[in-house]
A and B are shown apart, each in its own frame.
Chain A
């Protein structure tokens, strides 16, 4: 039986309205026009689970049903001391829809239920139909190096063929595309970080990195302000940097641009901190964000969205990036409690509060959060953790996200994994465990959330693999996953 790509990515579960309408709807020119009118209002937040998130302990089979996922899972993951197995009882509160292929019941890691003000976490948002879990995302011949695999995901170039991306990232190419209309001095994207993430790199427009808005002002020497001194200083600073921008030496020109755009952002962004904190409606949520790295970072994003939504001058950032580190769990990974659980709890609690905040702002339907990690982890655990692995789940969260489980759980049968053992990426049309190309998710986001023809940003670089017995690369992407409701 031939399984078409669309069928393989069918959405499981009862709430199938979005997929019933079908992705064909997006092809309707009237719908497309209607979409484009609201595109400019949308936000995309990219979040990295840095270090390689253990997918098998993130979306976990609870039972076997028509397959052997749970049995296989228990074969690879130990119970008891040093074990990282999640027991069915520990997964009881975080169940999601079943695996589309085997019908096995799935659950999110118990840490995803969040805690404190973020109690409910991603599980609560899943139950609202706002979370799409896309299983088995990867690319052929998984590279187990953090740097190389991150680079593949950030550029959107699975085989590293170097087809002229020039070190740009996939979001960066979107921002720099002429059709988006962003000029060199516009700031369409903010990374909550000390440096700009690789997927935002490009040279067409300005992406700024901000750790904390409150501390983002230009450090004038105010002790010495005689009334005109600050203006004189500003004039000289900008003239020196504008001259550097005109340099024939690319590094100097880049430093000039960076100085100028940093200066201008430092004049408009810091005020967003007080604007948010002084708004009584926002102050309620300000107090609820967990005091964690993810909580603090999402709060900064909320402040900027609040600024955009309230029409602050010179504030029009629509794209954000943040990361949560620590997923390189070679040791002490833990099960329902421990390092991995704490990481997931941090992410889930922070996102839940952020969600409540933007919902209260009335902006939830304009926000989409994309969560990725450079790879999943080894199927078989080591003494107390897991080494580097291959494909794993991605998440999309948002008011217009068509929640549910997409893609197949990777095949973890001992007979189906490689010698490491890792799961094998497959695009064999006959393989019921067929994998998901991570660029299908990027492409769908570009196509249906940002209204950008994906081919412009993600050229099809994979060649047909004529290897025996079947071709395992794809050559035509499916960029029409039903991940969004119309």
Chain B
């Protein structure tokens, strides 16, 4: 068992660099190099990554495609621990998933839809280390979300449950707790949805939202809909109220007006599951651990991290993240692949940015065009890999792990690698700047490349041998890396083999 005082190994340091950002460019601040990080304890290193002041960037544009490319470019350029900022924004964008197509279909204006999405993106960024509870309250009245999940169509005579349901199911509680017990009932969805009736987007106030009292459902006007309270119904099979509550929770104690939606959030954040643990804290921590570590973290780990972070008191994301980054679970996956290690499939955006940064290749122009192979724009390959930011497939966000390594997704990764590594002459990828050209044996060259990509310890002897065989096919030692033709054929090829291998595709 390690803790915050445990010294980092070099493998641990590589793990932090891979996971707390999209890989750190070699040119970046010295503090973030493997050899420097390996001088620190886990706690010191975690502080280095989480101590940053979020920037106010918003990917603004009149076109969705341009906004996408702007954000990708911004992510690519973030240095040092600001890479963690973007990694968190991607996580929150997946958690509060909102997509351009859904907005455009409802708003019927590309410009307005992109503007709303950019504002939401800025909100996520600004709040990525702060209180999660406050963030949920901001999302309640976020204009993009209000359109995407139909709050703007939620009127007193015909309430619309779309947002109310997802607030419970996805953003806070989850359908079921870790023991498989339901966290809420349909009645709760109905009542929560009443709180949101009448909230609209005021286009005259540039993306500000407000409550239209004439469209708001009140108990006086709709007595037949019952009291505005949640978690008061006895669950048919559990035999008691859900959420650990012993009486119905009214969300109109402060009156029937704007405050209702904040009070709903306050109640949700007090909900406890069938183990008596805070449901929101467990739900979010579970998802963060899947994002930063691996699928299916266990209860004991989740609870320990919540407890030591004080999350259920402050709801501060920064404290929660720090506890994740010093916990054993975070470092377990960095080990040499063995039966007991757990691996995760890298998200496409991570794979793309990590590769570009490691190779010090910057795609060309606003369109982020690659300079080899089919000269694809980055977005074309990301689309086939299954991840276009600002366009998650639905409110459920992206389908991860196995879904990322479908044949379509893999071929897109392979093609991306080909397009990056086949760039020639003075084109961006210059392995001669990354590798010592005086090396003459295949073994030394393979080790140099896998070291530069930080995956030497992720390869088996047989895989290393396959790479050596590739280098030596039709050649004999001493090899000459100063020979441009040899380099372009073999060294570029070797880079492609490593980048396409499970050592890089998986964390």
Task: Say how far B42's CB is from chain A's closest CB, in angstroms.
Answer: 24
Q: Are B470 and A236 touching (Cβ within 8 A)?
A: yes
Q: A148-B175, A221-B373 are in contact. Are A258 and B488 (CB under 8 A)?
A: no
CA distance A55 to B131 in the complex (A): 42
Q: A196-B402, A243-B462 are in contact. Are A255 and B502 (CB under 8 A)?
A: yes
Q: A144-B165, A221-B422, A244-B463 are in contact. Are A330 and B409 (CB under 8 A)?
A: no
Interface residue from B403, B474, B505 paired with A195 (Cβ < 8 Å): B403
Chain B, residue nearest A228 (CB): B474
CA distance A220 to B406 in the complex (A): 19
- Choose, from B271-279, B339-347, B358-366, the stretch at the interface: B339-347
Q: How many residues of A contact B (CB 8 A)?
A: 68
CA distance A248 to B493 in the complex (A): 28
Within 8 A of B (CB), among A196-241: 196, 201, 208-211, 215-216, 218-221, 223-224, 226, 228-229, 232-233, 235-237, 239-241
Chain A, residue nearest B467 (CB): A236
Q: Are B373 and A194 touching (Cβ within 8 A)?
A: no
Q: Are A194 and B384 touching (Cβ within 8 A)?
A: yes
Contacts of B180 in A (CB 8 A): 160, 162
Contacts of A226 in B (CB 8 A): 474, 489
Q: Are A383 and B158 touching (Cβ within 8 A)?
A: yes
Q: Are A145 and B467 touching (Cβ within 8 A)?
A: no
Within 8 A of B (CB), among A240-265: 240-241, 243-244, 247-249, 251-252, 254-256, 258-259, 261-262, 265
Within 8 A of A (CB), among B205-250: none
Within 8 A of A (CB), among B395-410: 396, 399, 402-410
Contacts of B339 in A (CB 8 A): 248-249
Contacts of B410 in A (CB 8 A): 258-259, 262
| Majority SS at the chain B contact face | helix
Is the CB of A193 closer than 8 A to any CB of chain B? yes
Q: Are A254 and B406 touching (Cβ within 8 A)?
A: no
Contacts of A277 in B (CB 8 A): none
Q: Are B158 and A382 touching (Cβ within 8 A)?
A: yes
Is the CB of A146 closer than 8 A to any CB of chain B? yes
Within 8 A of A (CB), among B360-392: 372-374, 384-386
Is the CB of A471 closer than 8 A to any CB of chain B? no
Q: Are B500 and A237 touching (Cβ within 8 A)?
A: yes
Q: Are B407 and A210 touching (Cβ within 8 A)?
A: yes
Q: Are B161 and A388 touching (Cβ within 8 A)?
A: yes
Q: Are B407 and A239 touching (Cβ within 8 A)?
A: no
Q: Are B501 and A240 touching (Cβ within 8 A)?
A: yes
Within 8 A of A (CB), among B458-507: 460, 462-463, 466-467, 469-470, 473-474, 488-489, 492-493, 496-497, 500-502, 505-506
Q: Are A239 and B463 touching (Cβ within 8 A)?
A: yes
Contacts of B399 in A (CB 8 A): 195
Is the CB of A32 closer than 8 A to any CB of chain B? no
Residue contacts A-B, CB under 8 angstroms, 12 given: A146-B396, A194-B384, A195-B409, A208-B407, A211-B408, A228-B474, A240-B467, A244-B501, A252-B343, A265-B407, A332-B105, A383-B153
11 more A-B contacts (CB under 8 A) besides A232-B474, A233-B497?
A144-B186, A191-B406, A216-B408, A218-B414, A236-B470, A239-B462, A240-B501, A251-B342, A251-B345, A258-B406, A331-B106
